[in-house]
Amino acid sequence: MEKSLTRNLLSNLFSRQNKPSCFHTKACLIQQLQECNRFISLTSVHSEILKSGFLSDTFAVNNLINCYIRLQKTLDARHLFDEMPQPNVVSYTSLIAGYINMGQPQTSLWLFQKMLGTSVIPNEFTFATVIKACSMIADLVTGKKIHALVEAVGFQCNLVVCSSLVDMYGKCNDVDGARRVYDLMGCKNVVSWTSMIVAYAQNAQGHEALKLFREFNYLLKDRPNQFMLASVINACASLGRLVSGKVAHGAVIRSGHDSNDVVASALVDMYAKCGCISYSDKVFRRISNPSVIPYTSMIVGAAKYGLGRFSLELFKEMIERRIEPNDVTFVGILHACSHSGLVNEGLEHLNSMYWKYGIVPDAKHHTCVVDMLGRTGRLDEAYHLAKSIQVDPNAGALLWGTLLSASRLHGRVDIAVEASKKLIESNQQVANAYVTLSNTYALAGEWESAHNLRSEMKRSGVSKEPGCSWIEIKDKTYMFYAGNASLERGSEVLSLLRELERKMKEKGYVRGQTGLAFIEVEEETEEQIVGLHSERLALAFGLISIPKGITIRIMKNLRMCKDCHDVFKLISEIVERDFVVRDINRFHHFSNGSCSCRDFW
């Protein structure tokens, strides 16, 4: 490439057609570089700089390096840099940024280390750039070393540098470190606030992100930018905070970011995760020219809601508009097929990924297919597929956990044993493996095996995650835990549950599978425990607290058990109310005695 570049320069320099132009002064040449947007034009200006004798001028060469970097010709920029007798801080910073833009953060950190061995002192932009490199690879150790250097050089109060540090600590999962930097900043702007909000949102601290966003509205006159808004909306989505999400949506409209792809996609996702798929569709349809990002958000949201056919229609619409799907789009499509029993369609889409779109299926896609086969009882196919996939421990845990759940559902003890062994060996989802396998043994009537496994759980100190549900009323969140009746308006909640139990029995309700096979209890005690599952407590509280006509929306940290699912269908008919439950797997919209999942989850 270097020889080719030299030939082009010499050709331009000595070509008869390339007569001296008006760009004989350095200022003119610099102006030409700043306006240059094609490589062939750049080589022409480069030859003029060479001809004019400005290749020894650091300012001119820096501008030339920047132009090569802007046109993604980093190797050519590096050749120029290496030939500079005395590169300055701008030279180093430009090339460091170039490597980052080309996805080479490790190389940029190496160059920064080389710079520290010279007499060149990094400036605020150098620090911000190398801190970004640490963020990209989540290198907390190097990030802390650079932070110490920042303080030694005296940039610890610089807005640009500190905002980058906050972002770096957040991406390295050190939220406390991010907050310490943030709190020590004497002056904050929209970028620094955004960095801290993003740090909270990315580390599952949505409540703190929302709290900081409210402070921003009160204390700073600047309008929120699209990155802040997208992060706040994502925080609302993770928490299921519909009211806060609507407030953020209002801020989006007021600040003029409603046409931004990333923000609109976040809104689509937020409304879907808060159980308002119709709102998601409204936001999506208002995007004048949606890209693959909002399409994918809408496809995934519809899939979680059990609207598999709708997801497939969206995908078809996207392809007809010549919008190329990405790997996440196909995760949504396969998920949609899995949750709607569309096995043949799902397998067709899996096969089309590589042959039609050049996307190689990875562990996420194969896990969806294992789930899809397992839900429809094709356990042997699902098992053989799971065994044939090479995955890392985290992806493997999801894969084998999915197969384990399907094995329990269809009573395949043999496959459940193999799947649980894989989970326990990987030290991932150990409690889930024990509990699910114990229930599988119990459902198959193998009580001795179930008892032995429960004893092993006790010896190992393994405990099941307690069931927890929450409900939002007037921007306040109320939490409910399984078996805990000591809650606000507790006597009213229990009284209503007893009354609803009586009405359900009048309709022929008989308590079915409770999902509590791993607990040895008498029948009466078992009924009391199941009757106090967290989602039932939340539902009863919602019924006495939320006016009739308003849909009650409940979030749960675990999978909804079959008995509670049956109960919610009956209660929706008895009280003539709609309920939406978001559990760890999907949404259930209960209305008039039926559920949107069609009992397929």
* pLDDT digit string, tens, across residues 106-122: 999 999 999 999 989 99
Q: At what angle do helices 292-304 and 277-285 cross, to 10 degrees?
A: 160
Other beta carbons within 10 Å of 580: 21
C-beta of residue 468 within 8 angstroms of C-beta of residue 481:
yes
pLDDT at 224 (0 to 100): 86
pLDDT value at position 574? 95
Cα–Cα dist 350/408, whole Å: 25
Retrieve residue 177's tokens.
């470190």
Residue bearing the bigger pLDDT, 393 or 252? 252
Residue of higher predicted confidence among 124 and 474: 124
385: left (phi over 0), alpha (psi -120 to 50) or beta: alpha
Q: Who has greater pLDDT, 176 or 509?
A: 176
pLDDT tens-digit map of 537-556: 999 999 999 998 889 999 99
pLDDT at 311 over 80: yes
pLDDT recorded at residue 32: 54
pLDDT (0 to 100) of residue 51? 54
Phi, psi for 485 (deg, rounded to 5): -95, 0
> Which amino acid makes up residue 326?
N
Is the per-residue pLDDT at 31 higher than 70?
no
Average the pLDDT over 163-185 and give the result: 94
CA distances from 110 to 62, 75, 210, 223 (A): 20, 16, 38, 38
Note the pLDDT of residue 45: 59
Residue 482 near residue 534, CB atoms below 8 Å: yes
Q: What's the CA gap between 576 and 548, in Å, rounded? A: 9
> Structure tokens of 600?
């397929």
What would the mean pLDDT of 141-157 be, rounded to a whole number?
Answer: 92
Q: pLDDT tens across 341-372, in order?
A: 899 999 999 999 999 999 999 999 999 999 99
**pTM summary value:** 0.75
Summarize the confidence of residues 211-217 as an average pLDDT.
Answer: 87
For the segment 80-100, the average pLDDT, to the nearest whole number, is 87
Quick: pLDDT tens for 495-506.
999 999 999 999
Please report the pLDDT score of residue 325 as a whole number. Answer: 95
Which span out of 52-66, 205-219, 224-238, 472-486 was modeled with the highest average pLDDT? 224-238
19 pLDDT higher than 50: no
State what percent of residues in the chain have pLDDT above 90: 42
Within 36-88, residue ranges assigned H as helices are 39-52, 58-70, 74-82
Instruction: Report how far apart, in Å, the C-alpha atoms of 334 and of each of 12, 133, 325 are.
Output: 55, 34, 13
Q: Quote the pLDDT of residue 55.
A: 57
CB 408 within 8 A of CB 443: yes
Q: pLDDT-based confidence at 512, cuts 50/70/90?
A: low
pLDDT the model gives residue 419? 87
Are 404 and 371 in contact by the 8 Å Cβ rule? The answer is no
Confidence of residue 39 (pLDDT cuts 50, 70, 90): low
Question: Mean pLDDT, to the nearest integer, of 364-383?
Answer: 93
**How far is it, in rounded angstroms, from Cα 585 to Cα 556?**
10
Name the residue with higher pLDDT: 326 or 35.
Answer: 326
* pLDDT at 43 (0 to 100): 62
Range in 272-286, 452-466, 517-531 the model is least confident about: 517-531
Confidence of residue 265 (pLDDT cuts 50, 70, 90): very high
Show the tokens assigned to 286. 């208002």
Written as one string, the DSSP assignment of 384-404 is HHHHH----HHHHHHHHHHHH
Q: How far does the chain reach from its first CA to its final CA, in angstroms? A: 57
**Mean predicted lDDT score pLDDT of the chain:** 83
Please give the DSSP secondary-structure letter assigned to residue 579.
E
What is the per-residue pLDDT for 42? 54
pLDDT exceeds 70 at position 521? no
Indicate if the pLDDT at residue 516 is higher than 80: no
